[in-house]
A and B are shown apart, each in its own frame.
Chain A
Amino acid sequence: MEIDKTSLLVTVDSDQTISELEKELNRQGFTLNYLPVPPSNILLADVLNERQPNLYGEVFGGIEDLCVQVRLAQPDGSVWENVLSPRSATGPSLKKIAIGGGESFGIIVQATLKIFFQPESKAMALVRFPHKRQEEFFLRTLRKNQTPVPLWASLPREDVDPFFESLKRSDRVLGISWWGETGEVQDQYRYLQALAVQKGGEWYELEEEKGQREWLVDLQRYALQRIQKLVEQNEELSPGHRKLIRKVQSIL
């Protein structure tokens, strides 16, 4: 594993698991800001081959955005790689075609990924909206204004009850979490709270660190279920689309 602390990049062999990589980065003060849908012990190679969605993707992008360079081993022994650059305009993107392309384009043996400083502070809140529509409107407004939260999920009442008696009135409660530099997290806190109240929500903060940790695990679990559901609901590709995929994959 090689970390470029100037460009905030890590170059790593693809046979590492995401959890190992994240742990090692955490030790050095960094994070991937990537949590795949099947989170336990998935290999980086599988994440890239399958283009596994990122739980924090609304803010930090998918694995295809977080990955800056891939190295692809070919059956003839040659290795392909895209140029190491934040962006380029030299034709189609080999990297983005390879990520999610199975192993049609070779075996991804190494990748360079973006890394982030571990956040100075994290915040978490619960918001109870009287109606589902208001919750949706709140989330849509965040997305529209380019201020989405990296982690959110609708939580069922039974998980919320032990913490907040007053929340028993709701069927579901929206859990949100965001992180970054202290000043920014505080600015966002004020904005999110004001917006939630404006949209008819009741805001509950979670200050205790211990409580937050437990909640975070629940929040992740429900957020993962949400993404999984999205993936399952995907529309079928058109026959023309499928045919072209087969054609492109057959070239090699």
Chain B
Amino acid sequence: MKSISHRGFLTPPQGEGGAVIEARLKKILREDQVSPLWTDRLSYGRDCNSKAMLWVRSGEIRYPPQWVVWPENTHEVSAILSLASHLRVPVIPFGGGSGVCGGTWALKGGICLDLKRMDAILEMDTRKMQVRVQSGMNGEWFERALNRRGLTLGHFPSSIYAATVGGYLACRSAGQFSSLYGKIEDMVEGLEVVLADGQILRLGNVREQPQTLDLKEIFIGSEGTLGVMTEGSFRVHPLPQMEAYRGFYFSNVGKGIQAAKEIMQRGLKPSVLRLYDPLDTLLTTSHEDKEEEGNWLDPLFSWFKEQSLKPLLRNPKLLKNLTDFLPARCLMILGFQGLKALVPGKVSRAQEICKKYRGKDLGEGPGLHWLKHRYSVSYKLSPLFDEGFFADTLEVATTWSNVLKLYRKVREVIGKHALVLAHFSHAYPEGCSIYFTFVGYRNNLHESEKIYDVIWRDGLEACVAAGGTISHHHGVGILKAEFMSREWGEGFDWLYKLKRELDPGNILNPGKLGFPLVWEEERT
């Protein structure tokens, strides 16, 4: 195994300054709540971003924090932020570390604020159907606790086993059943936020209060750059009485999109609607008849492992020409949840719509297979990296009238450098998200990193040019930071001023979300 080291400008916590900060932290927290140890710092120096995975496999952790702290209540978070503001030490809030955009990299070192010890359910009101929970609560544990009371949050991101509620909020996460339950921002009723100066704020629901600025919207999606969210109140739902799944084949992407659009616009509200493009369909269905555990990445992985694709992946143009000869059929998976009285009617109306667009009904098999393996994909990328490949996902979104244009443009530019497949999911009446997956291979880290950066730059450029949003639910982090001002336009100036107002010392997760690592006047 290669040894892991830090690289670059980061200085380990040495000298008088470091000692003072550590001593002050230990005054606020117990000894076991503060760690300056390399083992901890290295563990927190990365997330699940693909580039970070490449670095780890090359023996590098580039952005470790200088301390890791584990506060146990909001007052401790407040005291830490107050201290950090006073001493101008960066603070990087940390949940499950399952983000994929480099949002928790400690670009300037500082304190990693791991909130996982703040994981209590504080209130469960089954009358109002609201639950108040601390932000360090793990997604799966939260869901299980709700299930025991006959409830569900309805939020099932593929990172659910690792992610925390705070992480959901920080990056405006979406779950796989978002077409029915919405994204996390649709579920939030209230927030507790700690500002950079340590001030604790409780923000309630102002939906029914006209002429009142909804401050929650400032912090949801702010990725720890404007405040630290320590608690959230969420709307919950009863567990569904029944679920039903169907699979359909369409002759091409266009037909599938027409059917998907009509299903959403006729108000059928499926819990799941996923349409795979031809290559994604091929890989998804190649595993369906087998009994063993697995998902679509398994055949891809076996294929790669045999090295047969490595030469091809070095020549993406040739690969693209080959994939163009694939059968054009596209798989759609549809799922419905809810009351026994209503679900069968919705299924039959969806079947009618699919039939109208010549969809071939495959029964419930493909849907049930997807359901069984729906979280596996996030944990199957790692072996690809072990074999020297790199892979990542890009999730964009747009309206139905623009969706094919966006799909073609982004696919075209990424396809020049890597194998690219996509599916359409998180559908709404007015549009949907497109989830691109790309896989590439180069001989060494340097080459891989170079091409990886080119893919992201060209992919996001194509997305902006085609009028899509650069992120539907992964967030921005450092990965898409350069494109923030492109998407926001002149409105980004306001966001920048807001950052300066709320965090004048630039201590909160500096360098993320398009904000500078250092204020301009301090760059010398």
Is this pair of chains taken from one and the same complex?
yes
Residue numbers in B under 8 Å from A237 (CB-CB): 204, 206, 212
B488–A90 CB distance below 8 A = yes
A86–B399 CB distance below 8 A = yes
Annotate B490-508 by CB proximity to A: 1 below 8 A, 0 otherwise: 1100110110011000000
Q: Give Cα A12–Cα B152 distance, bound, in whole angstroms.
A: 38
Residue numbers in A under 8 Å from B202 (CB-CB): 238, 240-241
B428–A87 CB distance below 8 A = yes
B345–A183 CB distance below 8 A = yes
Contact of B494 among A52, A79, A80 (CB under 8 A): A80
A74–B431 CB distance below 8 A = no
Q: Give Cα A15–Cα B212 distance, bound, in whole angstroms.
A: 21
Residue numbers in A under 8 Å from B238 (CB-CB): 144-145
Contact of A92 among B221, B265, B402 (CB under 8 A): B221
B339–A147 CB distance below 8 A = yes
Q: Looking at the complex, which of B57-65, B247-255, B276-284, B469-477 is the stretch in contact with chain A?
A: B469-477
Annotate A198-214 by CB proximity to B: 1 below 8 A, 0 otherwise: 00000000000000000
Counting CB contacts under 8 A, is A157 at the interface?
Answer: no
A187–B345 CB distance below 8 A = yes
With contacts A85-B398, A86-B428, A86-B431 known, is A100 near B213, CB below 8 A? yes
Q: Give Cα A9–Cα B401 distance, bound, in whole angstroms.
A: 10
- Return the chain B residue nearest A65 by Cβ: B186
Annotate B391-402 by CB proximity to A: 1 below 8 A, 0 otherwise: 000000111111
- Interface size classification for chain B: 35 or more
With contacts A85-B469, A86-B432, A184-B267 known, is A92 near B226, CB below 8 A? yes
- Return the chain A residue nearest B184 by Cβ: A89
With contacts A184-B349, A247-B501 known, is A9 near B213, CB below 8 A? no
- Return the chain A residue nearest B126 by Cβ: A144
A145–B339 CB distance below 8 A = yes
* Further contacts, 19 of them, CB under 8 A, given A4-B399, A184-B342: A6-B400, A7-B400, A8-B265, A49-B211, A88-B470, A89-B469, A89-B475, A92-B218, A92-B221, A100-B213, A102-B213, A116-B429, A144-B238, A146-B180, A147-B338, A190-B341, A191-B339, A238-B202, A240-B200
A-B contact pairs, 13 of them (CB 8 A): A6-B400, A6-B401, A7-B430, A51-B209, A64-B214, A80-B491, A83-B468, A85-B468, A86-B399, A191-B339, A241-B215, A248-B498, A251-B497
Name B residues whose Cβ lies closer than 8 Å to a Cβ of A. Answer: 127, 129, 171-174, 180, 183, 185-186, 195, 199-204, 206-215, 217-223, 226, 237-238, 261, 265-267, 338-339, 341-342, 345-346, 349, 397-402, 426, 428-433, 467-476, 480, 484, 487-491, 494-495, 497-498, 501-502, 513-514
Name A residues whose Cβ lies closer than 8 Å to a Cβ of B. Answer: 4, 6-9, 37, 49-53, 57, 62, 64-65, 68, 72, 74, 78-94, 96-97, 99-102, 104-105, 114, 116-117, 140, 143-147, 180-181, 183-184, 187-188, 190-191, 194, 227, 230-231, 234-235, 237-238, 240-241, 244-245, 247-249, 251-252
| 5 closest cross-chain pairs (CB), A and B | A80-B491, A88-B469, A89-B172, A7-B399, A6-B401
